[in-house]
Amino acid sequence: MSSTATIILIEDEVQIQRFVQAALEDAGFTVHSTPSGRQGVIDTGTRKPDAIILDLGLPDMDGIDVIRQIRSWSNVPMIVLSARTQEAQKVSALDAGADDYLTKPFGTAELLARIRAQLRRHSQTGNPTQESVFTMGDIRVDLVNRQVHRGDALVSLTPIEFRLLAALIRYAGRVVTQRQLLKEVWGPSHIESGHYVRIYMGHLRHKLEADPAQPRYLLTETGVGYRLLADGD
Amino acid sequence: MLPCGRHHEIAYTAHMSHTRPDPDALLEKLQQEDARQQRGRLKIFFGSCAGVGKTFAMLTAAHARMQEGEDVLVGVIETHGRRDTESRLQGLPQLPLKSLIYRDKTLHEFDLDAALARRPGLLLVDELAHSNAEGSRHRKRWQDVEELCSAGIDVYTTLNVQHLESLNDVVGQITGIRVSETVPDKVFDLADEVTLVDLPPEELLQRLQEGKVYMSQQAERARRHFFRKGNLIALREMALRRTADRVDAQMREYRTDQSIQHVWQTHERILVGLGPGPEAEQLVRTAARLAISMKAEWLAAYVETPALQKLGHAERQAILDNLRLAQTLGATTTATLSGDEVSTVLLDYARSRNVSRLVVGKPRRPLLMRLFVPSVTDQLAKEATDIDLHVVVRQPKPRHKPAPQHSLQMAANAHLSGLKKRGYLWALAISAATSVIAGMLLQYFELSNVIMLYLLGVMLISIRYGRGPGILASILSVSAFDFFFVPPKLSFTVSDTQYLLTFGIMLSVALVISNLTSSLRYQAVIANYRERRSLALYEIGKELASTMTTQHIVEVSVHHIASLFQSRAAILLPDADDKLRAPEADAGHGHTLADVDLGIAQWTFDHQEHAGLGTNTLPSSPVLYVPLKAPMRTRGVLAIVPENRAAIFLPEQRQLLDTFAAQIALALERKHYVEVARDALISMESERLRNSLLSAISHDLRTPLTSLLGIADQLRQAPGMPADRHAQLETLYDQAFRMQQLVVNLLDMARLQAGSVQLNSQWQVLEEVLGSALRAMQPVSQQHHIEVTLPPDLPLLQFDAVLLERVFCNLLDNACKYSPPNTTIRISAQQHPGEVWITVADEGWGLPAGMETQIFQKFTRGQVESSQPGVGLGLSICKAIIQAHGGALWAEAQQPHGTRFIFSLPLGEPPAPPLAEETPA
């Protein structure tokens, strides 16, 4: 992963744009900033960035539309910036194709961590040989043989629990909305049965986490979705 | 239509068709049962005549109820000095009677208001048919009882068969004594229970002789008149039969309920056509009996022909009374129809109402007329091919017949009678003038043309002044013609007999013309009157439609009513608590109604019935109160003091007044809904404004804080910073962070306060939300041990996860702030009936005594001067969030030290869990 990666920052608030750009440039990224959604879409086409950081509240067009437009022809990682009370907005951004979100106010460390995670995942998807074994802490998930070990002990998972875990691993480090999980694990007909995911997440935590009430790996992003936090993220 | 008297319809939900299990009937049944649930139960002790022991039986039953622990109260009991009744009265608490002074006499009456205020479980009210003294609220005691039942008080009462409205005339015919105190059959039919108190005539006579029934001086007189054995047997039979009818009706009702024998019979509907004669009353009663026996709905109609419009006031009043009687006896609709041909109008109305049977009286007319002009009944019989005709033989009661008055009504009346006097003079003058002119012209014209001249005069008089002067003119003309022109002149003797024929023809032609023209005149006057009526309605309708304010509606209505009914009027409107306000002094018209009694008006408003002058309720009041009934509810009360009392009680006027009232009510209702719509718009606007203000503020506060925090964070992590600079940057970051927390809290509080928080309630796993809260609070809670105990079988709970996470964060933050480092914070949940209790307990310093509730107030903190940061918003936010979820939040002292915050969340019906699949992967 190269630190000379190019990032487009679409943010209309000058102060925020300034400090984010400074933080990113300090970390060695090349940053192009624009206050307009339209310009952001054009820049994405011309500059071929490695990642996009996008504020949802833009003056000229809805941030969700920016995501949809870019996502229609590019799979560049997109991170949205959003306010704390706007969970619904975050969910729609994620469902529209955004890869992650950051809640304002956010720290530099958090911002950089998220960007690195996205860049890493993006470079991996280009690489077809995805690892068949995934580890987090003392948990080892063998995706080919569908076996899960915690320490030395084999953990027995039901087919749905395994499918859920596998889906989370596919999105490791990123946030997945409840809707995406329902669609991938239960199929499109169960999109409204939100409590299914919560119940099965509970099962998984009880089987995999040391303290299910204070999980280390299977995290809940309240109101938005879930995030599987593997080592190093 | 005559909707003015439909009072009792409301109190007694329409009671018809028990044999047809159609949905309406079932719904009605349910509504009736609902109404009965809230209503007090009415039990009638029913007997054939006085002295059978009804009161005694009632008292005995009351004693039994009292022993069961019921709160029994004697409202009024007439012991008639009977000793055993008096002894039975011992031991029952009695309500003191009210004293009324009427024409210098002190009367004692049942105290309705005291009974309503006292609210006993069971009230005894003797003699249901009793007429109340003048000045009481209701005319009749059964109306008192009705109000008591409506108020939810059970009532026991007594009733004799001869007091039942529909049997009143039959009993009168048998015994020769008509009682004037009657009770509508509906009261009897709708009573929850009827107990027949029966005593064979022999025993009754025995009791009478022993002086047990009446005190001795009255006994002999009573026996001779009423207590004849034949009478008693007949009365007993009637009482038994009436009770049996009731039982039969109950049986049928039961069968309908249980859907036994579905008989879909066509619904009978009976129409009784009333005439102006005194027999109409009997006709109404007959129709009522027929309708009851057939379980049919019935209507009464009166057809007003131009000829009938000339009837006197007393007769018109009698017609109105009969229509009212019909309503009391259960007619669903009473109508006043108008037209030329009684039979046609009646049949048209019958067909439009789907009437299956028509009841009319048998006409009593002179033989000659019967031969030449077919009676209404004959015409009906000829034309009514599709409707059964019942002809009732009339037994006219001797009645003082009022002198026929040639009066139409109001203006028409005065107008015509004034004209008439002058008309006779004009008849004289025209006849004389014609004679003079004819005398002068005779030398040029033939005698036959002179006749024409006279006829012209008669016609002019008839057209201008009506029938009387016309007749006078024709007689004068014939006499003058004879006297002046027929030889021998200047004498009434006639030489040529053929002139007698001329006279005869001349007289009849003159009479026919005068008759025709005068009836035309009447028609014109009536048409004129009708037009004025519709014009008045049109005008008030037009003006009301353009009114924008309540004040304007009131002004328009009062103005129109005052001018049209020659009355003073006021409109009383209710306030928010449905209490009527006194009308404001009307500056525009300069008069107010000083005599409006707000109590009566309120009663009218509450009961949706007419009251006051000329009604059944407080008729002695000088003011008539008309409820303004709109489709949704009563909108107010119209109070009227008529200058000419008779004018307002004519059928047409009453109808017009009721139509006016309906129009005004509609206007008020329209105005009400306009206001409702406007209020909704305003609150929507202010809501929108508040929301956009909040989001603008939160955006403007958050954006600088975000950059501040971001830059501070960036700087403090920059390498190569001197230590003191680094410490300053840390402080900068901390202060900015705290500022941000404060802004978040303030905005949250504002949002919660504004009520604009939409709960995104979903079925959640508590552990999950707690988990993310713990993770979010990790930086704060690092120095504390956190222990979580959740029962494994905790069901899903319905809440807004984001808000609940906030509650947990605030409670944890609080616990960390107010307990020393390295102590334990315990979070647990317990299931209670209907709810789950979640506890966050710390081992801190605890709350100061008495602060357990205050801490939930905004800007309140346990310790006034504290080194701990925060302004005390956290807990009030928590409380608001929990309350929005239908739960509660409270604080308790923890033993041995510390504080326990507990909040409850309601348990609901969680959705179906996902299907079990237990094949391990």
Beta carbons of A213 and B763 less than 8 Å apart: no
Pick the CATH number of B757-906 from 2.60.120.620, 3.30.565.10, 3.40.50.40, 3.10.180.10: 3.30.565.10
CA A91 to chain centre: 11
Mutate which of B697, B714, B812 to disrupt the A interface (most A C-beta within 10 Å)?
B714
Mean local confidence (pLDDT), B236-240 = 84
- Chain B residues with CB under 8 Å of A199 CB are 765, 796, 913-914
Beta carbons of B772 and A107 less than 8 Å apart: no
Write out residues 97-136 of A within 8 Å (CB-CB) of B.
104-109
Domain definitions of chain A by residue range: 6-125, 133-228
Residue A9: helix, strand or coil by DSSP?
Answer: strand
Reported as a single tens digit per residue, the pLDDT across A102-138 is 888 888 888 888 898 888 877 766 554 457 888 888 8
Residue B568: helix, strand or coil by DSSP?
Answer: strand
Tokens of B921: 């992967």
Residue in chain B closest to A146 (alpha carbons) equals B921
Mean pLDDT comparison of A36-45, B445-454, B513-522, highest-scoring range: A36-45
Given CA atoms B214, B215, B216, B217 in this order, what sign does their dihedral have? negative
CB B110 within 8 Å of CB B76: yes
Q: Does A35 touch chain B (CB under 8 A)?
A: no
Beta carbons of A105 and B917 less than 8 Å apart: no
Q: Does A154 touch chain B (CB under 8 A)?
A: no
Beta carbons of B706 and A211 less than 8 Å apart: no
pLDDT of residue B371: 65
Q: How close B760 comes to chain A (CA, Å)?
A: 9
pLDDT of residue B450: 81
Cβ atoms within 10 Å, residue B323: 24
Measured distance CA(B561)–CA(B569) in Å, rounded: 7
Q: How close A138 comes to chain B (CA, Å)?
A: 20
Mutate which of B745, B767, B778, B808 to disrupt the A interface (most A C-beta within 10 Å)?
B767
Q: Do domains A6-125 and A133-228 have the same CATH topology?
A: no
Q: Which residue has the tokens 């009292």?
A: B66
Mutate which of B701, B707, B734 to disrupt the A interface (most A C-beta within 10 Å)?
B707
CB B301 within 8 Å of CB B336: yes
The one-letter amino acid at A162: F
Beta carbons of A108 and B713 less than 8 Å apart: yes
Instruction: Find the helix or strand (DSSP H, E) in which B753 lies.
Output: helix B723-753
Residue B884 reports pLDDT greater than 70: yes
Bond preceding residue B896 cis, omega within 30 of 0: yes
Measured distance CA(B555)–CA(B570) in Å, rounded: 9
Beta carbons of B710 and A23 less than 8 Å apart: yes
Question: Chain A to chain B, count of Cβ pairs less than 8 Å apart?
Answer: 140
ipTM surpassing 0.90: no
CB B856 within 8 Å of CB B876: yes
Measured distance CA(B216)–CA(B80) in Å, rounded: 11
Instruction: Specify burial of residue B589 (Cβ count, 10 A radius: 0-12, 13-18, 19+).
Output: middle
Cβ atoms within 10 Å, residue A17: 20
Is CATH 3.30.390.10 what the domain over B269-392 is classified as, yes or no?
A: no
Tokens of B236: 């007993």
Q: How close A73 comes to chain B (CA, Å)?
A: 32
Residue B921 reports pLDDT greater than 70: no
Q: Does A1 touch chain B (CB under 8 A)?
A: no
Mean local confidence (pLDDT), A184-198 = 81
Residue B851: helix, strand or coil by DSSP?
Answer: coil
- Mean residue pLDDT of chain A comes to 85
Measured distance CA(B788)–CA(B768) in Å, rounded: 12
Mean pLDDT comparison of B240-244, B302-306, B863-867, highest-scoring range: B240-244
Domain definitions of chain B by residue range: 40-250, 269-392, 410-525, 757-906
Residue B73 reports pLDDT greater than 50: yes
Residue in chain B closest to A182 (alpha carbons) equals B914
Is CATH 3.40.50.300 what the domain over B40-250 is classified as, yes or no?
A: yes
Residue in chain B closest to A202 (alpha carbons) equals B768
Beta carbons of B710 and A201 less than 8 Å apart: no
The torsion region of residue B103 among left (phi > 0), alpha (psi -120 to 50) and beta comes to left
Beta carbons of A19 and B914 less than 8 Å apart: no
The torsion region of residue B135 among left (phi > 0), alpha (psi -120 to 50) and beta comes to left
If you ran DSSP here, which 8-state letter would residue B574 be given?
A: B
* Residue predicted with more confidence, B746 or B414: B746
CB B163 within 8 Å of CB B13: no
Reported as a single tens digit per residue, the pLDDT across B392-447 is 876 554 444 333 333 334 444 555 566 667 788 888 888 888 888 888 887 887 87
Mean local confidence (pLDDT), B561-581 = 82
Mutate which of A195, A206, A218, A221 to disrupt the B interface (most B C-beta within 10 Å)?
A195
Beta carbons of A199 and B801 less than 8 Å apart: no
Measured distance CA(B573)–CA(B639) in Å, rounded: 11
Strands B634-642 and B388-392: unpaired
Residues in contact with B696: Cβ distance below 8 Å, sequence separation at least 6, in sequence order: none
Residue B520: helix, strand or coil by DSSP?
Answer: helix
Beta carbons of A88 and B760 less than 8 Å apart: yes
Determine the length of chain B. Answer: 921
Beta carbons of B772 and A108 less than 8 Å apart: no
Residue B490 to residues B447, B452, B475, B484, B497: CA-CA distances in angstroms?
A: 15, 20, 17, 5, 17
Residue in chain B closest to A108 (alpha carbons) equals B714
Please choose, from the candidates B566, B542, B537, the residue with its C-alpha nearest in 3D space to the C-alpha of residue B647: B566
pLDDT of residue A125: 61
Mean pLDDT comparison of B207-216, B228-237, B897-906, highest-scoring range: B897-906
Reported as a single tens digit per residue, the pLDDT across A46-99 is 988 999 999 988 888 888 999 999 999 888 999 998 876 677 888 888 988 898
- Chain B residues with CB under 8 Å of A196 CB are 914
pLDDT of residue B651: 65
Q: Do domains B40-250 and B269-392 have the same CATH topology?
A: yes
Reported as a single tens digit per residue, the pLDDT across B670-722 is 888 888 888 888 888 887 787 777 777 777 888 888 888 888 888 888 778 78
Reported as a single tens digit per residue, the pLDDT across B16-60 is 434 445 666 666 666 666 665 678 889 999 988 888 888 888 998
Q: Which residue has the tokens 């009944």?
A: B377
pLDDT of residue A8: 93
pLDDT of residue B262: 37
Residue B304 reports pLDDT greater than 60: yes
Measured distance CA(A100)–CA(A114) in Å, rounded: 8
Residue A195 reports pLDDT greater than 90: no
Residue B407: helix, strand or coil by DSSP?
Answer: coil
Beta carbons of A198 and B790 less than 8 Å apart: no
Among partner residues A19, A199, A213, which is closest to B788 by beta-carbon distance?
A213
CB B842 within 8 Å of CB B892: no
Q: How close A209 comes to chain B (CA, Å)?
A: 12
Residue A152 reports pLDDT greater than 50: yes
Write out residues 39-58 of A within 8 Å (CB-CB) of B.
57
CATH of domain A6-125: 3.40.50.2300
- Chain A residues with CB under 8 Å of B763 CB are 194-195, 198
Please choose, from the candidates B452, B636, B650, B442, the residue with its C-alpha nearest in 3D space to the C-alpha of residue B554: B636
Beta carbons of A83 and B920 less than 8 Å apart: no
pLDDT of residue B16: 40
Residue B299 reports pLDDT greater than 80: yes
- Chain A residues with CB under 8 Å of B772 CB are 219-222
Among partner residues A19, A109, A202, which is closest to B767 by beta-carbon distance?
A202
Residue B522 reports pLDDT greater than 70: yes
- Chain B residues with CB under 8 Å of A9 CB are none
Residue B632 to residues A138, A220, B373: CA-CA distances in angstroms?
A: 71, 52, 51
DSSP states of A84-138: TT-HHHHHHHHHHT--EEEESS--HHHHHHHHHHHHHHHHHHTSS---SEEEETT
Measured distance CA(B356)–CA(B296) in Å, rounded: 10
Instruction: Find the helix or strand (DSSP H, E) in which A153 lies.
Output: strand A153-155
Q: How close A221 comes to chain B (CA, Å)?
A: 7
Tokens of B740: 């941000």
Residue B162 reports pLDDT greater than 80: yes
Beta carbons of B771 and A213 less than 8 Å apart: yes
- Mean residue pLDDT of chain B comes to 78
Among partner residues A105, A156, A195, which is closest to B710 by beta-carbon distance?
A105
Measured distance CA(B610)–CA(B648) in Å, rounded: 14
Beta carbons of B714 and A221 less than 8 Å apart: no
Beta carbons of A195 and B796 less than 8 Å apart: yes
Cβ atoms within 10 Å, residue B272: 31
CATH class of residue range A133-228: mainly alpha
When pLDDT is cut at 50, 70 and 90, the band that residue B838 belongs to is very high
pLDDT of residue B218: 59
Strand order in the sheet with B193-197: B72-76, B122-125, B154-160, B42-47, B193-197
Among partner residues B707, B786, B918, which is closest to A19 by beta-carbon distance?
B707
Mutate which of A148, A161, A214 to disrupt the B interface (most B C-beta within 10 Å)?
A214
- The CA angle B558-B562-B567, to the nearest 5 degrees, is 125
Measured distance CA(A185)–CA(A164) in Å, rounded: 6
